[in-house]
Structure 1
Amino acid sequence: MQRNFTRTLGMLALAAGLAAASSCTKDLNQAPDYSANAEVVYSDPAQIQQVLARLYATFAVSGQQGPAGQPDITGIDEGFSNYLRQYWQVQEVTTDEAIIGWNDGTLPKLNTDQWDANNEFVRATYDRVFYEIALCNEFIRQTSDANLSKRGLGSDAANTVRVYREEARVLRALSYWHALDLFGGGPFATENDAIGTTPQYKKGTDLFTYIESELKAVDAAGLLLAPRAVYARADKAVCWTLLTKLYLNAKVYTGTDRSTDAITYANKVLGAGYTLSPNYSWLFLADNDKSAAKNEIIFPITFDGIRTQTYGGMTYLVHAPVGGAVQPAAIGINGGWGGLRTKPTLTTLFPGGATGNADARQTLFFTKGQKSSVDTLTLFSNGYLVLKYKNVTSTGAAGSDAQVNGGSGNFPDTDFPMFRLADVKLMYAEALLRGGSGGTAGTALDQVNEVRARSGAAPLAAVALNDILDERARELYWEGHRRTDLIRFGKFTTGYNWAFKGGVPAGKDIESFRTLFPIPNSDRTVNTNLPQNPGYN
């Protein structure tokens, strides 16, 4: 099975086409509405593969036709509603790494850490997470061994579908981890719950235990593909990386440190044959699925300028930071959106700030016509730009949409590296410094300096725990990790501030309850089993 597993199938009008839903959680125990009978779809391995492809594509696309017109969820503009776009925003614009200048709806409240339970961007994030879970539940339900036998699938076909089912379990666990990390819990259902019942609430510690047991059961079953067997599949290394992340953050979720367990699974990933891309910037270009960057990427959200067209996802991340003196053609697009910038709290982590060149990672900042400080949220010239994601290849060619559509360049080919090797190396180092044991891949300093060496940064003579937080910012900025990192290090709400945190230009401490987002009031209205997180009403 080749690259087109997720790229080309993701935007097909599937035989099992999924209907749009205004809110996912009230339908969490319901089967999606199919335009073809499920008995027909799930009797055909080719159509089953297409439905699985849609589970992957739900992270990338926003509806049934692309780039707009038949949204999966309603209540917000379809382009805004995209899973990756919303997840990236809640992880980045709420922190010291990114700021957005638009005044759409309640976006400024998200941007300044002042959201409430009616914020439509928080609600869209929540709905996306549970929409994906609902789709995975139905796929797993329909591909049970009993159903495969009843529908007469031969042994070879049934075995192939069993692998698909395990992948769906990993994708569901990923979304449940997002629910745990962002909301501290939520409505809970699996394939075993009766369709039509109202989901019960599962709190953080219980949800952590479920995700852990589910991923370990999948790993023990041994059906997942080997690491790197097929690009963009939820293989064994994806399962191990997710367990590493779960355990590294376990003290936040449960109050119990699980650093040794994080090391156990990081060891597995570090021994799985991945290698750092020889060029940092290649990780974020239009051919990162073909260049040496693919050997570092553990789990991408894939995009194709022709077949996965959306106004969220990588279209957003490529276009939104472009404006001012930036030439859009150099980024492989037809124009910028003039929204995203960064804050000096990020650029000052590098020697020489955004204008230095001692570290290849800082060469992706753009300073011409921009000021370092952010004094006015809506003024695009306030804050340096991050030109990390581009729709050009490592050889300088434009992406496919720019080539096929007469230079349009609206939609990028660039894949989003949700999990990659450098992240695992830094997690391994952090877990060691937090007192974990069993490391077989060298010392914390070894792993940090390997990451730094790739970008030409000077090696560190020693590394302490707080150095890891800074190094994660330098290596992983704008990749959707920062909020979780700051919370784990105890620096998200108090004791460390950045521009417009709490709504004031200099930044200020915010309420401790903001380490979690609220359960949207729109869903609590339809599911009275859902409590509200403390601090919200």
Structure 2
Amino acid sequence: MKLTKYFISAGIAAASLMAGSCTGDLDLLPTNPNDITPGTFPSDPTLYMEKVMADVYMQMSTYGYGTSDDGNNILESMDGGMSTFQRSVFNLQEIPSDEANWIPTGDAIDENFQYGIIPSNNTVIMGAYSRMMVLVTLCNQFMQTDFGIKTDEERKLFEDFSRQARVLRGCLYFYLIDAFGNVPWANESVMTGSVAPQLSNDFAEGRRMVFEAVTADLEDVVKWYKENDPNNNPPYGYVGLDVAESILVKYYLNAEVYTGNARWQDCYTHAESVISRRAKGGFVASDGTATGLAKGYHQNFSYNNKECNEIIWRIVQESVTLNPEGGLKSYANGGFMCNAWIGDAAPDASFTCTQAEYNSGNGWKCMSARRQFVETFDWNADYTESPDLRTKWWKTAADGFNINNPSFNGQSEWGNNGFLAVKYTNWYINDNNEVVEGLSPAAVDPLGIDYAMIRLAEIYLSAAEAALNGGGDVAKALKYVNYIRERAKMDPYTTINLTELRDERCRELYTECTRRTDLIRYGKWISGYTWNWKYKVAEGTDFPANFNVYALPNVVVERNGYTQNPGY
């Protein structure tokens, strides 16, 4: 089956099954224009299961239904682009960090967000929390729906999709627990329209209990796959065993933060399991190992990344311009990751940048990188050249860009307040990491580039970190990190420590929605490391101690009687 086959023609789904306000409980707005009700499902259970499940995936790719700029957003009174799933996670992970910012003033993202000053009434917080809880609701709702199943084949499909819904729910809860801590736990036993409970009024206990509930559920799914479908290979765009086990790697990598108890051995064991299945073909290291990594690093972030096997979990994006019958209008995903950085510099500017360099039909001039992040990479004396292949598409001092960040006072300063750490392009990239213009699409807007939520490179690096923390083979840790460095054209390490590994994660995974989590895990988010304009101080300063989690949205707390996170 092909996921995108149903994205536009079948966005029926869950929104038509209930009504509500979607500001904190498990209700959704009935925004779908198609007049389809559950009563039609028994007429063709297979068709409607496929359509409803496709809608779950669609709502992770875009913001609603339709082709308007806000796509008939299923989140009431929210900016469509800003409140998509990928951008919600990106906002939480990257915008306040050293890797990015959000330059425009008076935009959907409050200008203080980039400084890390984020109160409980912030609209980005509300949009991110609401998007993820609505998606949790959609996953649960699939499992709660009576499709009028009559045959064993239909039952098997329902169970398969239900496992996928549990995997997706587990993915969503990773970001909820990470960002918001003591979040309510909603599994399929919590009916649509109900208020999901916090499992404890105590922050640490509640966060731990949700962690334990969701990881136990994911372990059950992984166990089923390994016993019944060990060679699970879901179609393009769908999730299965590898995504389930990879998200467990992320949970256990951060278990000490979330629960107070480290789970390094569990992290290493699951990472090794994923690597054993995925390390086939692709980039061949100097020791002869077929690593499973893409041969060309930037193939992961290109027009042709739909063909890239290194990507374990992807958020699907099709260009509505190139594929009007099967495209998705969305100001998120790979297109966002290209256009938000770039733009056409004025002819008389002291720096150079064009949309054409990235094969894009638009450029927003919204982001730049902070100097401390840039200096994580190796550079020559004047920051015009780096030997690190991963900076291939950056705009640097060689293009007239200022490495410093004198201020973040609007798009008029774009070009003079930081390098552009561009990773995604609309080019076809071959195995040698080279552009093939003849295989590349037109420079359109919006772009149709998938977003890589989890790559195999991250699993290698997580296995290495778990090993260095006593959970596995330290010799393998060094080998895994050197696979990553060799592909980037960097010299191998002869030894490896946690500080070097932290920086290598940054260089490999920059802007992939891991930075805030990584800095918290290493004890460098609150203090011990500063970056320009951290907490609205030019040279940076420490955050308050409670900033390791965001506030729960104040509307949600007030409406549902939840206990707010400490310090908010």
TM-score, normalised to structure 2, is 0.86
- Residue 81 of structure 1, aligned match among 69, 80, 83: 83
- Residue 543 of structure 2, aligned match among 471, 493, 510: 510
| One-letter amino acid of the structure 1 residue matched with residue 401 of structure 2 | Q
Question: Paired residue for 2:302?
Answer: 285
**What is the deviation of 1:296?**
0.8
Would you say the 8 A contact 2:248–2:267 is kept in 1?
yes
User: Cα 1:26–1:119, aligned 2, differ >3 Å: closer, same or farther?
Assistant: closer
Q: Deviations over 1:306-357 (max 9, x none)?
A: 2111123333222110123222122122231111111111221121165333
Would you say the 8 A contact 1:97–1:346 is kept in 2?
yes
Question: Paired residue for 2:324?
Answer: none
**What is the deviation of 1:531?**
0.8
In the aligned structure 2, how far is the partner of 1:18 from the partner of 1:194?
A: 15
- Residue 501 of structure 1, aligned match among 525, 534, 540: 534
Report matched runs for 1:170-319 at 5 Å: 170-202=167-199, 203-222=206-225, 226-274=231-279, 275-290=292-307, 294-306=308-320, 307-319=327-339
In the aligned structure 1, how far is the partner of 2:385 from the partner of 2:5?
A: 41
In the aligned structure 2, how far is the partner of 1:225 from the partner of 1:81?
A: 36
Question: Paired residue for 1:374?
Answer: 405
Secondary structure of 1:300's counterpart equals: strand
Secondary structure of 1:338's counterpart equals: coil
Would you say the 8 A contact 1:82–1:312 is kept in 2?
yes
In the aligned structure 1, how far is the partner of 2:241 from the partner of 2:277?
A: 9
Instruction: Work out whether 1:328 is the aligned partner of 2:355.
Output: yes
Q: Which moved more, 1:423-432 or 1:365-374?
A: 365-374
**What is the deviation of 1:224?**
6.3
Would you say the 8 A contact 1:321–1:338 is kept in 2?
yes
In the aligned structure 2, how far is the partner of 1:33 from the partner of 1:155?
A: 34
Instruction: Work out whether 1:125 is the aligned partner of 2:128.
Output: yes
In the aligned structure 1, how far is the partner of 2:101 from the partner of 2:447?
A: 22
**What is the deviation of 1:364?**
2.5
| One-letter amino acid of the structure 1 residue matched with residue 198 of structure 2 | Y
Report matched runs for 1:44-55 at 5 Å: 44-55=45-56
**What is the deviation of 1:156?**
1.6
Question: Paired residue for 1:358?
Answer: 387
Q: Deviations over 1:130-175 (max 9, x none)?
A: 0100111100112xxxx46xx2431122212211110011001111
In the aligned structure 1, how far is the partner of 2:391 from the partner of 2:28?
A: 48
Q: Deviations over 1:253-288 (max 9, x none)?
A: 000010000011001101013401111111100111
In the aligned structure 2, how far is the partner of 1:101 from the partner of 1:62?
A: 23
Q: Which moved more, 1:509-518 or 1:102-111?
A: 102-111
| One-letter amino acid of the structure 2 residue matched with residue 443 of structure 1 | K
| One-letter amino acid of the structure 2 residue matched with residue 169 of structure 1 | R
Q: Which moved more, 1:189-198 or 1:205-214?
A: 189-198
**What is the deviation of 1:196?**
3.6
| One-letter amino acid of the structure 2 residue matched with residue 535 of structure 1 | G
Report matched runs for 1:469-488 at 5 Å: 469-488=502-521
In the aligned structure 1, how far is the partner of 2:460 from the partner of 2:63?
A: 32
In the aligned structure 2, how far is the partner of 1:312 from the partner of 1:262?
A: 30
In the aligned structure 1, how far is the partner of 2:354 from the partner of 2:245?
A: 40
Secondary structure of 2:56's counterpart equals: helix
Q: Which moved more, 1:98-107 or 1:51-60?
A: 98-107
In the aligned structure 1, how far is the partner of 2:8 from the partner of 2:547?
A: 36
In the aligned structure 2, how far is the partner of 1:31 from the partner of 1:224?
A: 37
Q: Deviations over 1:210-266 (max 9, x none)?
A: 111110111122266845442322111111101111001000000001000001100
Would you say the 8 A contact 1:305–1:399 is kept in 2?
no
Question: Paired residue for 2:22?
Answer: 24
Secondary structure of 1:298's counterpart equals: strand
Secondary structure of 1:214's counterpart equals: helix
Report matched runs for 1:47-196 at 5 Å: 47-66=48-67, 67-103=69-105, 104=107, 107-142=110-145, 147=146, 151-196=148-193
In the aligned structure 2, how far is the partner of 1:466 from the partner of 1:23?
A: 46
Would you say the 8 A contact 1:238–1:299 is kept in 2?
yes
Secondary structure of 1:200's counterpart equals: coil
In the aligned structure 1, how far is the partner of 2:514 from the partner of 2:8?
A: 27
Sequence identity (%): 28
How many residues get paired?
A: 516
- Residue 385 of structure 1, aligned match among 417, 420, 433: 420
Secondary structure of 1:187's counterpart equals: coil
In the aligned structure 2, how far is the partner of 1:483 from the partner of 1:23?
A: 30
Would you say the 8 A contact 2:24–2:133 is kept in 1?
no
In the aligned structure 2, how far is the partner of 1:482 from the partner of 1:265?
A: 22
In the aligned structure 2, how far is the partner of 1:240 from the partner of 1:155?
A: 28
Q: Which moved more, 1:225-234 or 1:164-173?
A: 225-234
In the aligned structure 2, how far is the partner of 1:124 from the partner of 1:531?
A: 19
Secondary structure of 1:364's counterpart equals: coil
- Residue 452 of structure 2, aligned match among 413, 417, 434: 417
Would you say the 8 A contact 1:83–1:129 is kept in 2?
yes
User: Cα 1:237–1:32, aligned 2, differ >3 Å: closer, same or farther?
Assistant: farther
In the aligned structure 2, how far is the partner of 1:170 from the partner of 1:263?
A: 20
**What is the deviation of 1:194?**
3.9
**What is the deviation of 1:26?**
3.6
- Residue 344 of structure 1, aligned match among 371, 394, 398: 371
**What is the deviation of 1:362?**
2.0
Root-mean-square deviation (Å) = 2.2
**What is the deviation of 1:485?**
0.3
**What is the deviation of 1:289?**
1.1
For structure 1, the 5+ residue unaligned runs are none
| One-letter amino acid of the structure 1 residue matched with residue 337 of structure 2 | L
Question: Paired residue for 2:288?
Answer: none
**What is the deviation of 1:462?**
0.7
Secondary structure of 2:60's counterpart equals: coil
| One-letter amino acid of the structure 2 residue matched with residue 289 of structure 1 | K
Secondary structure of 1:333's counterpart equals: coil
Q: Deviations over 1:179-225 (max 9, x none)?
A: 10000022222221244432211320011001111101111222668
User: Cα 1:105–1:281, aligned 2, differ >3 Å: closer, same or farther?
Assistant: closer
| One-letter amino acid of the structure 2 residue matched with residue 308 of structure 1 | L
| One-letter amino acid of the structure 1 residue matched with residue 141 of structure 2 | E
| One-letter amino acid of the structure 1 residue matched with residue 94 of structure 2 | E
In the aligned structure 1, how far is the partner of 2:357 from the partner of 2:19?
A: 39
Question: Paired residue for 2:38?
Answer: 38
Would you say the 8 A contact 1:498–1:506 is kept in 2?
yes
